[in-house]
Chain A
């Protein structure tokens, strides 16, 4: 990068970032879901995935291995907040590029209830400056991180938060195009940048 686009970004203190750990809960959240929708999601949603090739009747008793843990917004936040900004040695969480209230988990087919395991995850990202040319790369990093970390039943939509970027529509179109994303991940230079961004994430290799 020849020149830094935003030399003085606002940085949040690590202690100010939303975290499950400060609440005293252990990392395992499966017993006490705290997501916004935890109370409204029917319990049956957590039954073994009927579409999963590994689930069968005999597996149901095998709770330790096969229990599907609910995934909530905080968990999504924890997956993407450690991603490094491509131009600052700072995380997307500390730069407030990703924010907990801008993460939405909704059933892909609300009318089907628990009958469909598909979940749509929408993450709105807030670029540090409205003309940030790296918004697409940041969005791609978030999408890649989520596609790799989450089970395939998630449909991941990463978009620019409304009013925070001058070419949001173009960026959104690119990030939403599965084929372009797939092609981008065959681009060695770009994969190098993404790998660096995801270094701080657990098992974040591209």
Chain B
């Protein structure tokens, strides 16, 4: 049975699986260099080339326990900077001057946080060097994230707090906020792509939004709805991309206007096996209703659950990612990788939604070759489709999958376009990220191909191409 997923063309071996291995990916690759960073319960961080798919460097010795998270600093030229967060409660900042030499050059960089001052001169200029350790969290650090401008770093921990650090000088970080409103472990932090607005996801089932108001950082919104731990939050890119065609320009214009007023949407996934899309209610409305409140220009944000993605996963969803082209990918404890696409909802087809056909083919036959047009004979392509019930129900829609949550204004719908089971064999998949394909054509051109990269409990990093 062909699948739109190409088998991983590359498997990057990490190391043998220790008990409960938790390899993780950096949330992004650096914008200038085709590098990939992974971190692992073996306490190392490994840097791979996305051009040659080989291991370039292994950073060892810095963290004393599992390295749980890492993130590339954006907006840099001539240098790459990586932040790492560990179960040892510390955050490390690492630097390396960029060179054109991206040949495989596995070098182990021994680093000892406690003896860093003595060692620092010994490093090769072209190698990763340890710059700063940020101490402050009381227990395991679970996520680190750089703001879009790169001047702010957010970190979060099992100690229920979110910290915001500002880089005030080279290698000089100042704590500018310690945010403690969450009532459980904070699992993930993510910055808004255009504003200095931070989202955090927690064991307390909530997503919180944080912003600076006058001089103080504070919680400006709580997104409630998930029934269990929220594992991951991710922002939509600056420009949304809705697939397919719809009759009537007004529908598109209306949607685009609302999208523009709301800004990028927020995505969350949870132990409750749901993935939710959240949208900001534009500001004017909020301020009008709060005229009587003394504090004018309140930074409070009003967010609503816009929709939920089709339910496919049957175990906790650990990771989601929103691609530049507007697709969403999710993965988790059931070992499946699922790709979703937002499409214009077809009017006047409420009873017999033609989306079923296109959608099912996308999953089953791999024939969704970029033409998600209506297909009325969807029924015959449905045999053997995993999760068919959910997908079909959702496509037939009208609030069946999202009872009471579907906005009447909803002009679009999310459909599953690709799905693969057992992506890492029988193992759980811990993290998923998108990356631009860089091994062909130097990764340039308008039709830049997107890769999906996953890490699993098998200790392996897999790179997938999506042929739709």
A contact set with B: CB distance below 8 Å: 49, 51-53, 108-109, 111-112, 116-118, 144, 147-148, 151-153, 155, 173, 176-183, 185-186
Contact = CB atoms under 8 A, between A and B. Distances in A.
A153 B229 contact: no
20 contacts: A51-B426, A53-B425, A108-B334, A111-B389, A116-B422, A117-B426, A144-B19, A147-B19, A153-B426, A177-B203, A177-B229, A177-B271, A178-B20, A178-B316, A178-B428, A182-B22, A182-B41, A183-B139, A186-B66, A186-B87
A155 B203 contact: no
Contact of B333 (A117, A148, A151, A155): A155
B462 interface: no
Which residue, of A109, A176, A181, has the highest number of chain B Cβ atoms within 10 A? A109
A153 B65 CA distance: 26
A185 B22 CA distance: 13
B438 interface: no
Nearest to B430: A178
B143 to A, nearest CB: 11
A111 B292 CA distance: 56
Interface string B122-164: 0000000000000000011010000000000000001000000
Interface string B422-460: 100111100000000000000000000000000001100
The 4 closest A-B pairs by CB, nearest first: A153-B426, A51-B425, A182-B20, A186-B65
Which residue, of B139, B187, B334, has the highest number of chain A Cβ atoms within 10 A? B334
Given A108-B315, A153-B426, A182-B41, A176 B271 contact: yes
Interface residues of B, number: 35
A152 B422 contact: no
Contacts of B333: 155, 178
Contact of B426 (A49, A177, A186): A49
Which residue, of B22, B334, B335, B426, has the highest number of chain A Cβ atoms within 10 A? B426
Nearest to A120: B315
B251 interface: no
A202 to B, nearest CB: 17
Contacts of A153: 426
Given A173-B228, A180-B185, 6 more contacts: A147-B20, A177-B185, A178-B20, A179-B22, A179-B142, A186-B66
B386 interface: yes
Contacts of B174: none
Nearest to B315: A155
Contacts of A53: 425
A41 B142 CA distance: 40
B426 A173 contact: no
Nearest to B425: A51
Which residue, of B17, B65, B422, has the highest number of chain A Cβ atoms within 10 A? B422
B314 A108 contact: yes
